[in-house]
């Protein structure tokens, strides 16, 4: 994806001064590829998510993220 201004690491800038691609550039590249794939949770990730929701871990993760973000 050279030429799209994607930084090599967080906070870096491309020679064009962009932090990342524009929404239009991202959609132009990603949308066609997304039609070629099928995304579904695996049994393991579904089981982990179910357990985290059931035992309150998911709520704790959400609260921690909100605190870190100041929301």
pLDDT digits (tens, 9 = 90+) for 12-68: 455 566 677 788 888 888 888 878 877 788 999 999 999 999 999 999 999 999 999
Provide the 3-class DSSP secondary structure of residue 19. Answer: coil
Looking at residue 6, its pLDDT comes to 45
**Max intra-chain CA distance, the chain:** 48
Looking at residue 7, its pLDDT comes to 44
Q: What is the pTM of this model?
A: 0.43
Q: Which of 9, 2, 7, 4 is nearest to 21 (CA)?
A: 4
Looking at residue 54, its pLDDT comes to 97
Retrieve residue 40's tokens: 């579904």
For 7, residues 6+ apart whose C-beta sits below 8 A from its C-beta are 13, 14, 19, 20
**pLDDT of 9 strictly over 90:** no
């Amino acid at each position: 994806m050279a030429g799209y201004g994607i930084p090599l690491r967080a906070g870096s800038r491309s020679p064009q001064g962009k932090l990342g691609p524009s929404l239009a550039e991202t959609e132009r590249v990603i949308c066609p590829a997304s039609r070629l794939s099928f995304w579904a949770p695996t049994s393991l990730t579904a089981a982990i998510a179910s357990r985290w929701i059931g035992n309150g871990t998911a709520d704790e993760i959400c609260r921690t993220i909100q605190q870190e973000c100041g929301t």
